[in-house]
Amino acid sequence: MYRKMMFVTAVASCIVRMKMDLNLNTEQEAAWTAFAGAVKQQKAEMVSAMQTRKLHASGTQAQQFTPDCIGEHARLMKQRVAGMESVAAAIKQLYGALTPQQKEILDARIDREIPM
């Protein structure tokens, strides 16, 4: 649980820092809010899914049969794809609202600071 909170906190810090560096104007704020929310949700779901898988692997839950494990993995991957599609839509909207200089900042740092 502690590691989950550290990861979520680190992502939140990166988002705050990125927003400050982009120096957004009021017209860009809604697009930023949608993007930041999508990223935070994606990260929280990813951490939760990893914890669920770890819990199953540790044997503290009833052992699943192989088809159930594969089915659960497929469900989690579909959930991850849906989250990434949400982030992709939000960043497309944000990118369209940015100035060329802001786009350069985002392009240079997004993968390093907010890895998907």
Sequence-ordered list of residues with C-beta below 8 angstroms from that of 102, at least 6 positions apart, any chain:
22, 23, 24, 28
pTM as predicted = 0.77
* Residue whose structure tokens are 């906190």: 9
Q: Give Cα separations from 55 to 21, 70, 79 (angstroms).
A: 38, 16, 18
- Classify 115 as helix, strand or coil: coil
DSSP state of 64: P
Domain ranges for the chain: 2-113
| 60-91 confidence digits (pLDDT tens) | 455 667 787 788 888 888 988 999 999 999 99
| 87-110 confidence digits (pLDDT tens) | 999 999 999 999 999 999 999 988
| 32-54 confidence digits (pLDDT tens) | 999 999 998 888 888 777 777 66
